[in-house]
């Protein structure tokens, strides 16, 4: 049984595809760091990520399938599911093996897994757009922090840049400890070095927050409470559409 | 808070506590309006102000304790009202706390909420004070201030006040993404009985103004590209379910007629919450008719995305939807002669009519069958609910009994018992414990 070990990056996976054709080897299993090695393996190949090779594979992929299908594959990769990498690898190889375009062969379990995972990752990016809450800081920067399940900040940041292009904002992924800062003109990826309480609780301390911040938070909590119809209380639906894992940083679910 | 760039904190503090109290009253007064969608327009930021609209399905920013989405700041300018509609909590004769927010208060709350990503925009409605035009004029001022003073480029939904003049509706349409006039009661006689000061003319006239405005605007934009858009997300409306004796057939027939007009995007259904128990013109409901409301939404979906006609969903023999089963299954059980449908051959439109197959799986099926013959295994992976679909399809395997051979009553019983029994006790499924 042949196993490809790669570094866990998308470029690494595509380099693996390159290797599969150049070395004429087909792995039964593709493993990222932290992934489970199969119990019995005859041939373990360590894939050395090479961007020039992965780019060739990506460009070749774009000639075989539509841009939408290729981007679904790239997005599905972000699902951080070790068992899925083999499916993705196998399907990319199938694309190259087939004379016709196989991107709409929805009876292929690998393709269905790609669709499902890209849907999940896109859903998480949408939730960042939905549930990001900004607090206004004393210097007029709007500060927002979250812990999304997948690494999707780069998919959501363009939305915020377009929407709030006339001001300063920070969106921050606490789980991966990086974020984006927009100063009104330019967007930059950065890491915050502060160890103050807002980095753990998400709440800006009084000396950092704008003077009116508390007031508008209070107004929002009031609105949130009074817009619900008491005769129709439905906590199950609420949790379904707004999973509890997001509540930690939601203004309306915290504070007085 | 800033007014024209000047920081005036003391005004703000005076404003605060009273704004919170009034927000309580006016959010509570607006909450029975169902519409909340922020969809229908894609508009990027113009680079001069704040905000954009995303189109598609819109963005829900939160979900209230009743599970309903919060996308827009849904609020009334005032809940004082000169009308006395029996089904409305804000009716003149009700002894409820009344409040009014000023134009600048609504504008600044909207802007501050929007900047914090709490909302997609504003949904403004109002009780009618003095006369319809006076009220409408103040609502237009909110929208105009947001757009022209604060350069707000997010979503604005304005309720058109019944009886407002055409000029004001036209002005409102220049600032709003969506406008709505609520039908409330599908049958005119029932409407007059419950709301003596209203009739269908007062509803359908402003709807027609909006429609004409949109169509004229389309014509103008064909000639001059830079003419600003007029109500680009079209209009919506709402009907109250269960406050009058009207049947589902009446409701769906009206919905279908409304959807056939070019600008109507959504009809909402609002299960009547018994707010005015003392009024004996209204049924004394303990609970709002939530299941019926849900079935109506399902029927609405069938009309909009599945190619069903309202007459197919509810007719004279079945004027009301079956509360036990969804309307698509109901239709299929009334037409056993059309089944089984061969998923490998039938047209997309027919596959869409199979209970257990939705828009997404139907599209996957017609694509996937180009590559190979599909079996029930494939269908299951694609996402077809085989528990339902198996009575209505064939894929040339060992035939499972079809609804045409069994009886519709038997299939209905089977499906209902399958819903009630826990999944693990499904005797058809073999289980191995490893």
Which pair of structure tokens corresponds to residue B25?
């009253």
Contacts A–B by Cβ distance under 8 A: 161
Taking contacts as CB-CB distances below 8 angstroms, the residues of chain B near A107 are 368, 371-372, 374, 378, 381-382
The residues that bridge with B236 in the sheet, in sequence order, are B180, B266
Q: Residues A165, A219: one domain?
A: yes
CA angle B37, B43, B47 (to 5 degrees): 135
In a domain, B280, yes or no: no
Give the mean pLDDT of B43-62: 85
Domain closes at, from B237, B266, B284: B237
What is each CA distance from B282 to B66, B190, B244, B250, B319, in whole angstroms?
24, 11, 7, 18, 21
Q: Residues B37, B157: one domain?
A: yes
| Residues B382, B351 contacting (CB under 8 angstroms) | no
Q: CA-CA distance, B88 to A60, in Å (whole number)?
A: 63
Q: Residues A243, A136: one domain?
A: yes
Q: Residues A39, A136: one domain?
A: no
- In terms of Cα–Cα distance, which of B297, B302, B249 is closest to B270? B297
For residue A230, what are the domain limits? 132-253
Taking contacts as CB-CB distances below 8 angstroms, the residues of chain A near B74 are 227
Q: Residues A76, A148: one domain?
A: no
Q: CA-CA distance, B51 to B43, in Å (whole number)?
A: 9
Answer whether residue B11 shows pLDDT above 60: no
In a domain, B287, yes or no: no
DSSP B145: I
φ/ψ of B317, rounded to 5, equals: -75, -35
B195-234: pLDDT as tens digits: 988 888 888 999 999 999 999 999 999 888 888 889 999 9
Taking contacts as CB-CB distances below 8 angstroms, the residues of chain A near B287 are 231
Domain closes at, from A124, A140, A165: A124
Domain closes at, from B237, B265, B280: B237
Q: Residues A92, A145: one domain?
A: no
Interface contact A87, partner B, CB < 8 A: no
Query: For the domain that residue B32 is a member of, what is the CATH number?
Result: 3.20.20
Q: CA-CA distance, A6 to A8, in Å (whole number)?
A: 6
Domain closes at, from A90, A106, A124: A124
Give the mean pLDDT of B239-249: 92
B276-285: pLDDT as tens digits: 888 888 888 8
Q: Residues B233, B345: one domain?
A: no
B89-107: pLDDT as tens digits: 999 999 999 999 999 999 9
In a domain, B58, yes or no: yes
Q: CA-CA distance, B89 to B282, in Å (whole number)?
A: 13
Q: CA-CA distance, B281 to B243, in Å (whole number)?
A: 9
φ/ψ of A156, rounded to 5, equals: -95, -20
Give the mean pLDDT of B26-51: 85
Q: How many domains does chain A have?
A: 2
Closest Cβ–Cβ partner in B69, B112, B381 for A241? B69
Contacts made by residues A199-202, CB under 8 angstroms, sequence distance 24+: A199/A145, A199/A174, A202/A145, A202/A174, A202/A248, A202/A249
For residue B427, the number of C-alpha atoms closer than 13 Å in the C-beta half-sphere is 2
- In terms of Cα–Cα distance, which of B264, B209, B217, B269 is closest to B241? B269
Subunit contact A222:B23, Cβ cutoff 8 A: yes
The residue whose two tokens read 């920070």 is A170
Annotate A21-46 with b (16+ C-beta within 10 A) or e (fewer).
eeeeeebebbbbeebeeeeeeeeebe
pLDDT class for B433, splitting at 50, 70, 90? very low
Answer whether residue B398 shows pLDDT above 80: no
Q: Residues A231, A191: one domain?
A: yes
pLDDT class for B15, splitting at 50, 70, 90? low
pLDDT class for B3, splitting at 50, 70, 90? very low
- Percentage of chain B beyond pLDDT 90 is 66
Interface contact A142, partner B, CB < 8 A: yes
The residue whose two tokens read 């894929």 is B395
What's the pLDDT score for residue A256? 59
Q: Residues B220, B353: one domain?
A: no
What's the pLDDT score for residue B10? 43
Scanning every residue of chain A, which has its alpha carbon at the shortest distance from the alpha carbon of B374? A107
Instruction: Name, in order, each residue with C-beta under 8 angstroms of B35's C-beta and a sequence gap of 6 or more.
Output: B123, B157, B180, B236, B238, B266, B268
> How far away is chain B from the Cα of A71, in angstroms, using its nearest Cα?
18
Q: Residues B361, B212: one domain?
A: no
Closest Cβ–Cβ partner in A102, A105, A234 for B66? A234
B121-160: pLDDT as tens digits: 999 999 999 999 999 999 999 999 999 999 999 999 999 9
pLDDT in tens, chain A (256 residues): 899 999 999 999 999 999 999 999 999 999 999 888 888 888 899 999 999 999 999 999 999 999 999 999 999 999 989 999 999 999 999 999 999 999 999 999 999 999 999 999 999 999 999 999 999 999 999 999 999 999 999 999 999 999 999 999 999 999 999 999 999 999 999 999 888 888 888 899 999 999 999 999 999 999 999 999 998 899 999 999 999 999 999 999 987 5
* Segments of B153-245 assigned E as strands: 155-159, 178-180, 235-241
What's the pLDDT score for residue B384? 94
In a domain, B161, yes or no: yes
Domain closes at, from A69, A102, A124: A124
Subunit contact B52:A163, Cβ cutoff 8 A: yes
Q: Residues B231, B356: one domain?
A: no
What's the pLDDT score for residue B1? 40
Closest Cβ–Cβ partner in B47, B48, B70 for A227? B70
What's the pLDDT score for residue B8? 43
In a domain, B146, yes or no: yes
Answer whether residue B425 shows pLDDT above 80: no
Annotate B247-277 with b (16+ C-beta within 10 A) or e (fewer).
bbbbbbbbbbebbeeebbbbbbbbbbbbbbe
Q: Residues B359, B230: one domain?
A: no
In a domain, B295, yes or no: no
B386-396: pLDDT as tens digits: 999 989 998 87
Closest Cβ–Cβ partner in A165, A215, A252 for B62? A252
What's the pLDDT score for residue B37? 83
Q: Residues B73, B191: one domain?
A: yes
The chain-wide mean pLDDT, for chain B, equals: 88
Q: Residues B60, B162: one domain?
A: yes
Q: Residues B39, B143: one domain?
A: yes
In a domain, B251, yes or no: no
The residues that bridge with B70 in the sheet, in sequence order, are B62
The residue whose two tokens read 């990520």 is A49
Q: Residues A57, A101: one domain?
A: yes
Q: How many domains does chain B have?
A: 2
For residue B354, what are the domain limits? 327-425
- Edge-to-edge strand list for the sheet holding A168-173: A134-136, A141-146, A168-173, A178-182, A187-190
Domain closes at, from B237, B253, B279: B237
Q: Residues A6, A55: one domain?
A: yes
What's the pLDDT score for residue B227? 86
Q: CA-CA distance, A191 to A213, in Å (whole number)?
A: 24
What's the pLDDT score for residue B420? 60
What's the pLDDT score for residue A228? 94
Q: CA-CA distance, B297 to B39, in Å (whole number)?
A: 18
Q: Considering only residues 215 to 254 of chain A, which have any Cβ-Cβ distance to chain B shorter than 8 Å? A: 215-216, 218-220, 222-238, 240-242, 250-252
> How far away is chain B from the Cα of A67, in angstroms, using its nearest Cα?
18
Q: Residues B39, B175: one domain?
A: yes
The residues that bridge with A137 in the sheet, in sequence order, are A209
Answer whether residue B431 shows pLDDT above 50: no
For residue B401, the number of C-alpha atoms closer than 13 Å in the C-beta half-sphere is 8
Q: Residues A75, A105: one domain?
A: yes
**Would strands B69-70 and B62-63 be described as parallel, antiparallel, or unpaired?**
antiparallel
pLDDT class for B419, splitting at 50, 70, 90? low
Q: CA-CA distance, A240 to B29, in Å (whole number)?
A: 26
Q: CA-CA distance, B175 to B41, in Å (whole number)?
A: 13
Q: CA-CA distance, A56 to A61, in Å (whole number)?
A: 8
| Residues B246, B185 contacting (CB under 8 angstroms) | yes
């Amino acid at each position: 049984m042949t196993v490809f070990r790669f570094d866990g990056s998308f470029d690494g996976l595509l380099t693996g595809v390159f290797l599969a054709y150049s070395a004429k080897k087909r792995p039964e299993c593709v493993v990222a760091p932290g992934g489970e090695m199969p119990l019995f393996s005859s041939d373990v190949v360590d894939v050395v990520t090479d961007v020039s090779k992965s780019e060739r594979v990506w460009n070749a992929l774009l000639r075989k399938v539509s841009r939408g299908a290729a981007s679904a594959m790239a997005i599905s990769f972000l699902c951080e599911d070790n068992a899925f990498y083999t499916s993705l690898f196998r399907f990319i190889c199938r694309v190259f093996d087939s004379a016709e375009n196989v991107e709409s062969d929805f009876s292929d379990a690998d393709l269905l897994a790609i669709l499902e995972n890209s849907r999940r990752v896109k859903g998480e990016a949408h939730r960042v757009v939905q549930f990001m809450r900004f607090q206004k800081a004393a210097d007029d920067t709007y500060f927002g922090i979250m812990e999304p399940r997948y690494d999707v900040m780069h998919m959501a940041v363009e939305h915020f840049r377009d929407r709030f292009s006339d001001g300063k904002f920070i969106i921050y992924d606490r789980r991966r400890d990086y974020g984006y800062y927009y100063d009104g003109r330019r967007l930059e990826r950065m890491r915050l070095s502060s160890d103050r309480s807002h980095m753990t609780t998400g709440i800006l301390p009084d000396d950092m927050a704008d003077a009116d911040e508390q007031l508008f938070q209070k107004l929002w909590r009031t609105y949130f409470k009074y817009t619900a119809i008491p005769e129709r209380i439905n906590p199950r639906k609420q949790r379904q559409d707004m999973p509890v894992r997001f509540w930690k940083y939601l203004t309306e679910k915290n504070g007085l | 808070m800033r007014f024209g760039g000047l920081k005036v904190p003391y005004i703000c503090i005076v404003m605060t506590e009273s704004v919170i109290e009034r927000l309580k009253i006016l959010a509570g007064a607006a909450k029975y309006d169902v519409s909340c969608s922020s969809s229908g327009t894609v508009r990027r930021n113009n680079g001069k102000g704040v905000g954009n609209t995303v189109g598609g399905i819109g963005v829900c920013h939160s979900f209230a304790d009743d599970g309903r989405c919060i996308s827009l700041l849904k609020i009334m300018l005032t809940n004082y009202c000169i009308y006395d509609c029996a089904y409305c909590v804000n009716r003149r004769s009700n002894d409820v706390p009344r409040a009014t927010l000023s134009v600048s208060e609504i504008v600044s709350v909207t802007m501050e909420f929007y900047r914090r990503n709490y909302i997609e925009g504003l949904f403004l409605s109002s009780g009618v004070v003095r006369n319809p035009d006076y009220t409408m004029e103040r609502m237009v001022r909110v929208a105009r201030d947001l757009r022209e003073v604060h350069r707000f480029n997010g979503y604005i939904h304005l309720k058109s006040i019944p009886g407002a003049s055409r000029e004001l509706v036209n002005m409102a349409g220049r600032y709003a993404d969506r406008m709505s006039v609520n039908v409330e009661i599908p049958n005119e006689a029932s409407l007059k009985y419950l709301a003596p000061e209203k009739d269908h003319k007062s509803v359908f006239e402003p709807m027609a103004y909006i429609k004409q405005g949109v169509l004229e605007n389309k014509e103008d934009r064909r000639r001059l590209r830079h003419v600003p858009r007029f109500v680009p997300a079209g209009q919506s409306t709402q009907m109250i379910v269960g406050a009058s004796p009207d049947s589902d057939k009446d409701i769906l027939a009206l919905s279908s007629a409304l959807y056939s007009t070019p600008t109507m995007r959504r009809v909402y259904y609002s299960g009547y919450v018994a707010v005015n128990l003392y009024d004996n013109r209204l049924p004394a409901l303990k609970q709002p008719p939530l299941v019926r409301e849900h079935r109506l939404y399902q029927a609405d979906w069938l009309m909009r995305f599945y190619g069903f006609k309202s007459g197919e969903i509810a007719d004279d023999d079945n004027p009301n939807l079956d509360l036990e089963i969804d309307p698509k299954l109901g239709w299929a059980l009334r037409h056993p002669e059309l089944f089984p449908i061969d998923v490998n051959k039938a047209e997309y439109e027919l596959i869409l009519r199979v209970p257990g197959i939705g828009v997404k799986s139907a599209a996957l099926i017609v694509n996937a069958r180009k590559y190979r013959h599909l079996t029930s295994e494939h269908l299951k992976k694609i996402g077809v609910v085989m528990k339902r679909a198996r009575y209505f399809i064939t894929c040339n395997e060992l035939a499972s009994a079809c609804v045409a051979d069994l009886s519709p009553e038997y299939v209905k019983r089977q499906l209902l018992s399958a819903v009630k029994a826990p999944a693990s006790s499904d005797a058809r499924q073999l289980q191995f414990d490893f």
